[in-house]
């Protein structure tokens, strides 16, 4: 049965690495739901977080294939229950339609939203959380004249107390 898997690869910073990973996925006709590459706890190493929707066997095999890439030290395959993860969203809403609504403060509290910029023409809000919550807030903000909306890729860490170590 297909479900969401988060693949976490610890890599060197090498040109062409992302291409090698996407070739592995495209050969199997697998859509990439999300990708994030960032510095990590180990100096001169990077954490590449990929989200795919596949069966366990396919996800595990992809992680093993990614691990065979020379620049990749290790690749882990985790379910959503094995990790702590978040995404962030930014929303630009028309200030005039939002400022006079009495339900706005309840909506902002419900999603733990923070105002970043309040201008005459627009207001920018920030929220972090699960993907469904961010998408639901986007739907609710359309009633108030949503101008722009963007969300980040998933960032994740494992729930276990062990860390990746190159030594």
Compute the average pLDDT of residues 142-161: 90
165 CA to centre of own chain: 23
Neighbours of 128 (CB within 10 A): 17
Nearest CA-CA partner of 55 in 99, 3, 120: 3
Q: Reply yes or no on whether the pLDDT at 99 is more than 90.
A: no
pLDDT confidence of residue 166: 52
Compute the average pLDDT of residues 117-139: 94
Task: Point out the least confidently predicted range of 83-87, 102-106, 144-148, 152-156.
Answer: 102-106
pLDDT confidence of residue 167: 45
Cβ–Cβ < 8 Å for 158, 78? yes
Strand, helix or coil for residue 55: coil
Q: What is the mean pLDDT of the chain?
A: 90
Q: Reply yes or no on whether the pLDDT at 19 is more than 80.
A: yes
Compute the average pLDDT of residues 132-152: 93
Q: Reply yes or no on whether the pLDDT at 89 is more than 70.
A: yes
Strand, helix or coil for residue 133: helix
- Domains belonging to the chain, first-starting first, are 3-83 (3.30.70.260), 84-151 (3.30.70.1150)
Compute the average pLDDT of residues 43-71: 94
Task: Point out the least confidently predicted range of 29-38, 103-112, 121-130, 141-150.
Answer: 103-112
Rounded Cα–Cα distance for residues 72 and 11 (Å):
4
Q: Reply yes or no on whether the pLDDT at 165 is more than 70.
A: no
Beta-bridged to residue 9, according to DSSP, are 48, 75
Q: Reply yes or no on whether the pLDDT at 163 is more than 70.
A: no
């Amino acid at each position: 049965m297909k479900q969401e898997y988060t693949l976490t690869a610890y890599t060197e910073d090498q040109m062409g690495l992302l291409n090698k990973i996407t070739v592995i996925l495209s050969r199997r006709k697998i859509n990439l739901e999300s990708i994030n590459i960032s510095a990590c706890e180990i100096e001169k190493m990077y954490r590449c977080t990929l989200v795919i929707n596949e069966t366990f066997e396919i996800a595990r095999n992809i992680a093993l294939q990614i691990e065979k890439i020379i620049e990749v030290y290790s690749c882990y395959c985790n379910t959503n229950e094995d990790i702590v993860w978040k995404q962030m969203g930014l929303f630009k809403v028309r200030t005039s339609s939002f400022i006079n609504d009495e339900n706005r403060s309840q909506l902002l509290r419900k999603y733990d939203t923070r105002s970043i910029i309040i201008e005459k023409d627009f207001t920018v809000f920030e929220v972090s959380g699960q993907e469904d919550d961010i998408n639901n807030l986007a739907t609710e903000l359309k009633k108030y004249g949503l101008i722009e909306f963007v969300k980040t890729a998933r960032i994740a860490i494992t729930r276990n107390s062990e860390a990746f170590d190159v030594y």
